[in-house]
Chains A and B, each alone.
Chain A
Amino acid sequence: MSTAAPNTRFAHPAARGACPFAPPPAYQQAQQQEPISRVSLWDGAPSWLVTRHEDVKAVLSDARFSSDSSRSGFPFISAGARQLNAGQPTFIRMDDPEHARLRRMLTGEFMIKKVEAMRPEVQRIADDLLDRMTTGRTGADLVHEFALPLPSLVICLLLGVPYQEHDFFQECSRILLRRDASPEEVDTARERLSDYLIQLTEAKRAEPDDGILSRLIARGELSTEEIGLMGRLLLVAGHETTANMTALSVLALLRNPDQLDHLRRHPESVPGAVEELLRYLTIVHSGLTRVATEDVEVGGVRIRAGEGVICMINTANRDAGEFPDGDELDLTRDARRHLAFGFGVHQCLGQPLARLELQIALDAILRRLPGLRLDVPFEDVRFRGEMLIYGVHELPIAW
C-alpha cells in the first residue's frame, strides 16, 4: 500500500478495522467529515472517493461520468486491475449507446421470468451439492463444496461451458480478481481465459447448443471474439460474486445468532433477508470506478473533466441518512434501496440470477443443516481483503 500523496486524505484501498464485516474505518470517517474526498491510488494518482448513498447514486446515474477505462484519468484500484482493463473492452467498460447495444443482447437472458423458470433446476443443483457434502460426514468447507460450485454449475449451464473445466476457469478468475496480482499474472490469466472462451465459441458455431454463447452466435451480430469476451465476463462475474456472498452471508448469520434464529423461524422472509445481507456485506468493496468527461458538481464538490471518481457502495449502503443503524444486520429492514449491484445503466445484469441463487442457497443451508456452526475459531477465518471481491477463502462448518 502506498502512502497518501499530499492534499489527499488517505491511500485507497484503506485497511479494514476490527470488524471484518464493516468497511475500513477511514471510509466511514470520510463519510462523516468529508463525504467526497481526495484519495491517492497505488500509483500515486489522485482520485475522488464518494461515500454517501445520495452522491453515489448521483454519480452512477450521470452519463457525464464515463465507464470507459481507456479515457485519460480513469482510476484503477491496482496495477492488476489496470491490466485487467487492457486489451479489448467488454460492455461494462463502454458508455451508451454502444454499451446499451451490447448489453441488450443479454438482458433477455436474465429477465425475471426467465430466471424464475430456472428455480427448480437451481434448487436441484443446490440439493445435490448438499447431499454430497453431508452424506456420512459432520463437517466441510462450505466455500469449496457448496458456495462456489453452485453458481459455477449454474453459469456453466447457462452459457454452455463444460463444468469439468472448473479448476481452470476458477483459477483464472482468482488471479484476475486479486488486487495484489502482478500485471504479467493478470495478462496471462486474462489471455488464457479469453482464448478458452473464444475457442469454445468457435466450437459452438459448428455444434450449437441451447446456451447463451450459441444464442449470441445465432443473432449473427457479433464476431466469435466478441462473443468469447462477453462469455468471459459472464463466467467470471457469474460465479465469484454469488459464491462469496453465500459464504459471507452464512458467516454473518452465525455471528448474529438472533438474526439466524429469526430466519429459521421465518423462512418466508429469505428474499428480504438476502437484500439486507447484500446491503450489509457489499462484497464489491473496492468501489466502482468512473472518470468525469466534463466538469460536474456533486454534493457541493466540483469534479473536473478528466478526474477519476471511485464510488464506495459499501459505505453508501451503511449511510445513516438512508439506512438508520446501518452498521447493524437487521433482516426485518426494507433494504431494497441498497447499491450492492451498483446503480445507473451499468447496474448488475445478472442480479435476478444472483438473487435466485442466494435465496435458494440460504434456504437450503438453513433447512438441511439445523445444527450449523463454525468449525474453527472466528479469528482463524481468512477474509479476502486482498481480492477485488470480498468474502472468505474457506468457511469450515460443522452440523
Chain B
Amino acid sequence: MFVHIDQDKCCGAGHCVLAAPEVFDQRDEDGIVVLLDARPSAELHQAVQDAAAVCPAAAIRLELA
C-alpha cells in the first residue's frame, strides 16, 4: 500500500491522526496533515483505510499494490 496526502485539500479535522497515528500527524503550526509513513506495514492497512474513509476533505489517496 502507498499512501498519498494532499496538504492543499486538508481541512485539519484530525480524523486520520485518531484512526492511524503511526501513519499520520498534524503540522504544529496549522494542524495540516503530515505523512509519517508512505508505505505502512500490513497490520496498519485497515487503520489507514479507515482514515481515508472518514477524511472529510478527500485529502488521503491510497494506492493498493
Contact = CB atoms under 8 A, between A and B. Distances in A.
Given A347-B56, A351-B13, A352-B14, A336 B32 contact: no
B46 to A, nearest CB: 11
A62 to B, nearest CB: 10
B37 interface: no
Interface stretch (A99-107, A126-134, A200-208, A384-392): A99-107
Contacts of B27: 108
B58 interface: yes
A112 to B, nearest CB: 4
B1 interface: no
A369 interface: no
A342 B56 contact: yes
A118 interface: no
Nearest to A61: B58
A111 interface: yes
A100 B18 CA distance: 22
Contacts, number: 65
A323 interface: no
A215 B58 CA distance: 29
A180 to B, nearest CB: 31
Q: Which of B15, B18, B56 has the most CB of A within 10 A?
A: B56
Interface string B14-33: 11011100000011111110
A344 B14 contact: no
Contacts of B14: 110-112, 351-352
A104 B18 contact: no
Contacts of A105: 30
A343 interface: yes
Interface SS, A side:
loop
Nearest to B57: A345
Contacts of A61: 56-58
A112 B57 contact: no
B29 A108 contact: yes
A115 B43 CA distance: 27
A269 to B, nearest CB: 15
B26 A111 contact: yes
A111 B56 contact: no
Interface residues of A, number: 27
B53 interface: yes
A223 B12 CA distance: 24
Contacts of A109: 31
A1 B18 CA distance: 42
B50 A336 contact: yes
B36 interface: no
A359 to B, nearest CB: 12
B20 to A, nearest CB: 12
B62 interface: no
A61 B53 CA distance: 13
Contact of B11 (A103, A112, A336): A103
Contacts of A352: 14
A100 B32 CA distance: 11
B54 interface: yes
A182 B57 CA distance: 36
A104 B56 contact: no
A349 interface: yes
A352 B57 CA distance: 16
A352 B17 CA distance: 11
B12 A111 contact: yes
Given A107-B31, A112-B17, A337-B54, A345 B26 contact: no
Contacts of B29: 108
Nearest to A334: B50
A107 B13 CA distance: 8
5 contacts: A100-B11, A107-B30, A110-B14, A111-B31, A352-B14
Ordered nearest first, which 10 A-B pairs have the shortest CB separation?
A107-B12, A111-B31, A107-B31, A347-B56, A111-B26, A108-B31, A112-B14, A112-B17, A345-B11, A108-B30
